[in-house]
Amino acid sequence: MGKTIRKNLFALNLFLAFAVVVCITPQAFAGGKVYKMGLSLAITGPTSDAGNPYSKGVEDYFNYVNDTKLLGDDKIECMIRDDQYQTAVTKRNFEDFLDQGIVFYLNYSTGSTLGLKRDFEEVQIPVLPASFHAGNVEDSHYIFLPIASYSEQVVSLSEYVVNNHKGDKPKVAMFIHPSAFGRGPVGDVEKSIAAGLNMEIVEVVEHGKDLDNTAMLQRLMSKNVQYVICQTIQSPVATMIKDAARLGISANAFGESGKITFLGAHYTGGNDLIDLAGDASENFFWITSYTITSEPGPGTDFQLSLAKKYGRDDKAANSHNYANGIMVAQVATEVVRRAKEKGLDISKKTLHDELNAMNGDNAYQPPTTVGPVTYSSTDRAGVDSLQIYAVKEGVFRKVGEPITSQYMKKIK
């Protein structure tokens, strides 16, 4: 009897030990495998107006992937951490993610992307940042921009100004963030002008924390500036265009003589700008590669349904940065799906290889963007197409069809 009891106890302990291993081993989670990813970004602090909805988009899409079994029994676990826009914190988060075995990394700011560029090369991990700075991909094999760079966005806006301006050479000012994020496109606009773009940059203004832009706007008016192209975030743009409206110098239509038409790249616009600036945002021209919820279509339907599924409020649900977060999660999921379809092990290398193969017939078209996502060993910008929108009667509406920059091809 004693031997039988001991045998039964041994068998029970063996079974329990095996059960514990099954429960904690990622390879056996819910009958499938778990692929780890990480995201470090500013959920609070500077630029959190973009980072907060972005993080929700990433979180919700990966939850959607797991809940709807898009990868079968396999799942994606994405660890999301707040770095408050501090590169040192981002680096610590990234290193901890690596210790936990991530195979794909989602970064955020321009500063931290540039600061960690060598780390990405060393560990050979594919990276999609929220920053579209062209300098991110220089001398890099592992950083991929989700959409066309800030430079391409701003040069495209400059081309739009030149093509639609009536009269002599348009006089333009640039209103930029005092950082690599803001300064990056200025040189490419200057190169485009040298290559033949018929436009004059009268002044480049690096904004501070000024609550009143009256003096700056009056100075630009005295120099006959008709267009201000912005490369920064929404809050300083909102302050500036409210001041312009108060001074009565905002154009009521594109290129109105004696007034200023305001234009901006991705992080200057969206519904957040309308919320901040109110009526002063009317006729603000904005460029991005994302579909937006004020324009009906599959992208709008999917974005709003996803937000509803995961209980997001209207502000997050209609944010272009929520779409931005969804899109990077879609791309990360798609490369996992493609590698799985080929029977490959999911690793940093196989996912990097799948990104480089995402071109031609293998281009990827998520509903969140106005054009396909394409990458190769020589092309690190995902969506080349850009859509110009303008605020009409309080909402952003499409202006024409998606475009691509002609001068960026000349100066590359």
For residue 254, being part of any structural domain is answered with yes
Alpha-carbon distance 134 to 150, whole Å?
7
Alpha-carbon distance 329 to 71, whole Å?
13
Of the candidates 297, 296, 272, the one whose C-alpha atom is nearest the C-alpha of residue 284 is 272
Alpha-carbon distance 33 to 80, whole Å?
20
For residue 20, being part of any structural domain is answered with no
- Assess whether 241 and 370 both reside in one domain: no
Alpha-carbon distance 273 to 320, whole Å?
11
- Assess whether 206 and 281 both reside in one domain: yes
For residue 130, being part of any structural domain is answered with yes
Q: What is the SS3 assignment for 194?
A: helix
Please check whether residue 183 is in contact with residue 129, taking contact to mean a CB–CB distance below 8 angstroms: no
Q: Would you call 345 exposed, middle or buried from its count of C-beta atoms within 10 A (0-12, 13-18, 19+)?
A: exposed
Give me the numbers of helices (H) and strands (E) for the chain, helices first please: 15, 13
- Assess whether 270 and 325 both reside in one domain: no
Task: Report which residue type is found at 90.
Answer: T
Alpha-carbon distance 115 to 117, whole Å?
6
List the CATH number of the domain containing 230.
Answer: 3.40.50.2300
- Assess whether 156 and 273 both reside in one domain: yes
Please check whether residue 284 is in contact with residue 271, taking contact to mean a CB–CB distance below 8 angstroms: no
For residue 21, being part of any structural domain is answered with no
pLDDT at 8: 40
Alpha-carbon distance 302 to 398, whole Å?
19
- Assess whether 204 and 334 both reside in one domain: no
pLDDT at 155: 98
Alpha-carbon distance 381 to 405, whole Å?
13
pLDDT at 208: 85
- Assess whether 80 and 170 both reside in one domain: no
pLDDT at 15: 35
Cα 106 from chain centre = 10
- Assess whether 168 and 278 both reside in one domain: yes
- Assess whether 206 and 325 both reside in one domain: no
**Both structure tokens of 144:** 């991929």
pLDDT at 46: 87
Alpha-carbon distance 27 to 157, whole Å?
48
- Tens-place pLDDT, residues 246-301: 999 999 999 999 999 999 999 999 999 999 999 999 999 999 999 999 999 999 99
pLDDT at 1: 39
For residue 268, being part of any structural domain is answered with yes
For residue 1, being part of any structural domain is answered with no
- Tens-place pLDDT, residues 308-342: 999 999 999 999 999 999 999 999 999 999 999 99
- Assess whether 345 and 394 both reside in one domain: no
Please check whether residue 146 is in contact with residue 201, taking contact to mean a CB–CB distance below 8 angstroms: no
Task: Report which residue type is found at 355.
Answer: L
Strand order in the sheet with 171-176: 200-206, 171-176, 227-231, 261-264, 285-288, 386-392, 395-403
- Assess whether 308 and 244 both reside in one domain: no
Alpha-carbon distance 163 to 157, whole Å?
10
For residue 332, being part of any structural domain is answered with yes
pLDDT at 278: 96
- Assess whether 135 and 250 both reside in one domain: no
For residue 7, being part of any structural domain is answered with no
Enter the DSSP assignment of 290. Answer: B
Alpha-carbon distance 123 to 116, whole Å?
11
pLDDT at 140: 96
Alpha-carbon distance 365 to 117, whole Å?
27
Length, in residues, of the chain:
412
- HSE, CB side, 13 Å, CA atoms: give it for residue 179: 15
pLDDT at 29: 45
**Both structure tokens of 241:** 């265009």
CA dihedral (145, 51, 156, 136) positive or negative: negative
Domains identified in the chain, total number = 2
Alpha-carbon distance 45 to 20, whole Å?
41
Of the candidates 325, 185, 213, 227, the one whose C-alpha atom is nearest the C-alpha of residue 277 is 213
Torsion angle (degrees, nearest 10) of CA 146, 150, 154, 157? 20
- Assess whether 71 and 123 both reside in one domain: yes
- Flag residues of the chain having pLDDT under 50: 1-30
Range of the domain at 327: 30-148+297-379
